[in-house]
Structures are given as structure tokens and as C-alpha cells.
Amino acid sequence: MTTETTTAKTTAAASGTWTLGDLKVNRIGFGAMRLPQNGAALQAAAASGDRDRAIAVLRRAVELGVNHIDTAAFYFSPLRSANELINSALGGPYPDDLVIATKVGPARDASGEWTAHAGPGQLRGQVEENLRQLGRDHLDVVNLRVLGTHSVAERFGVLAELREAGLIRHLGVSNVTPEQLAEAQAIAPVVCVQNMYGIGVRPEYDAFVRSCGEQGIAFVPFYAIAAAGRENGAAGSESEELLTVARAHGASPAQVRLAWTLHRGPHVLAIPGTGNPDHLADNVAAGALSLTDEDLALLEGLHHKAAE
């Protein structure tokens, strides 16, 4: 693979597919968190052109075969929200094969300050807010975002009731332990787990990732590229192991990180986010990057060494 030639012609279909319940998606998707903001800093005085660029990136993502977009009502800046951008770019009507996954649980007030996680009585309002912002009569996938190791039964039960009412098609969980996943599954089917994971990030979750695949549940890592940089993005110099693999394939370190993620199993999806159209094309092209056994062995060592 050479980045210049392959990126130009690669679509998300090259990454393969997975089915979320009854919804087939390409394994390379798109995360919308970064669209209304720049890293962790909310942009109070963002240029008006940023909105046009964000809309262009979303439309280009769909053109490149992306049909799985991850978002949330709490992804917003003082001027715009991820859901509003998605609605403006892709709604009226949305593509038939587009799957939009959102999250509920965390809450921010109008000023952007984080408040306490939503209790059971507030979750319906969060679901309805996502429906309103996205301009839809139901949500394809709703993930319950969890904070801590407490029971998820009561809050997940509320979402299960909304699923029965037709407001939600499928349910997932985010930032959970295996025990919390099992608790949720006892209440209603779970189609995906969305946890932080990547090279050198939470290798103790390797068995959990495999277990999800054995149960037919998608594992959807966030911060697969940024790793410890989280919402601020990738930072610092890359390891020699990662650079060696990248050079061998004419790829970028970010593409190798995404490819490694996809190689963890056919049930593992990727949702890299960007507001840059060039980075978008590179991310999609990573779905076609085939790592050798030698590459994977080298990266496996890095995965465990980086977390020591």
C-alpha cells in the first residue's frame, strides 16, 4: 500500500462489514466528536467556514462509503452541535444504508459545563433530544455511557423500554466492564460495546474484546488513534516499532493504529474522527491495509510494552 495512490481510490467497503443487530455497516466508520470543536478546547469564536468544512467532511465520508457515524447530543460547542451538522449535511432524507449511533448518560448544561450523569428519569429526555437534533423518528443505535462500576440495570432498563416503544432500534453500552455488559444483556440485547482501546491502551481488555466477538457483539474502540492524547488528539513521537510497520507499508502511523484495531477481530469497528478531508481519506484507506504476521507480532509487543 502506498498512501497517495491507495487513499485516492479506497472506500470504506475495503474494511469489510459487520452487522449491528440487523444493520450492516462497513467496519471503518466516522466519529463526529471533533466536528464542533478543536480537540478539548471549545471554540467560542469559531470561523463560519468551519461549519461548511464540517458539512463537507460528512458528505465526503458518505461518498467514501462510510455508513456508520457515531455522535451524541453532548458533542457541541458554543456555535454548533455534531447532531445539527449531521442533520444539515446528510438529512432530508438520510441515505437508506446510513446507521447513526448516539450516546446518552453524560450531560452538559447550555454553557457547556459537565453536570451529573443522567438518572433513569432523564434518559428519555436525552433520547428525545437526539431525535429532535437529528430529525429522525427513531434512533438506530443508542449506547448507554457509563461512569464507574456501579449497576447499570435501572438506567439500561429505561432504554430497553424505549426500544420496545419504537424510539430506539438497537442498544449498546459504553465505557463498561464485562460485568456491566452481562448485566445489560440480561435486560435486553446488546449489539455493541464502545470502550477506549488501542495500541498500548488497556491491554488488560484484550480478553474482553475477544469475548465480545465470541458473543456476536461489536467492539467499537474510541481514541484508537489518539490513544493517551484522548480528545486532544495524538501527541508526541511515535515508537520505532510503529514507524517500522508504517514505513514498510508506505502508510502513516495513524493508519497503522487503525489497521491494528481492525485486525483484532472481524467484530471490531473503527470510528476515527476528523475535521480534515485529507485525514478522512487516509482513515478510510486504513481499512485496506493488511498487516503481516511479523507486523502484528511487533505491534503486539508494543501494545503490552507501552502500557507497562
Contact by Cβ (8 Å): 34, 306: no
Predicted local confidence at residue 307, as pLDDT? 56
pLDDT of residue 20: 98
Dihedral sign, CA of 8, 9, 11, 15?
negative
CATH number of 3-305: 3.20.20.100
Measured distance CA(240)–CA(100) in Å, rounded: 37
- Per DSSP, what are the bridge partners of residue 274? none
Using the structure block, give the residue that is written with the C-alpha cell 507480532.
297
Tens-binned pLDDT, residue by residue, of the chain (308 aa): 444 445 557 999 999 999 999 999 999 999 999 999 644 444 443 444 589 999 999 999 999 999 999 999 999 988 899 999 999 999 989 999 999 999 999 989 888 888 888 999 999 999 999 999 999 999 999 999 999 999 999 999 999 999 999 999 999 999 999 999 999 999 999 999 999 999 999 999 999 999 999 999 999 999 888 664 444 445 567 899 999 999 999 999 999 999 999 999 999 999 999 999 999 999 999 999 999 999 999 999 999 985 56
Instruction: Report how far residue 23's alpha carbon sits from residue 282's, in angstroms, rounded to the nearest whole number.
Output: 25
Where in the chain are the domains? 3-305
Q: What is the pTM of this model?
A: 0.92
Identify the pLDDT of residue 42. Answer: 41
> Quick one: pLDDT at residue 282?
97
Give the span between the Cα atoms of 134 and 215, in whole angstroms.
Answer: 31
CA-closest candidate to residue 141, choices 87, 104, 112, 179: 104
- Determine whether 52 is exposed, middle or buried from the number of CB atoms within 10 Å of its CB (0-12, 13-18, 19+): exposed
Q: Cβ atoms within 10 A of the Cβ of 48, count?
A: 7
Q: Taking Cα atoms as reference points, which of 266, 259, 267 lies closest to residue 299?
A: 259
184-202 burial string, b = 16+ CB within 10 Å, else e?
Answer: beebbebbbbbbbbbbbbe
- Give catalytic residue positions: 75
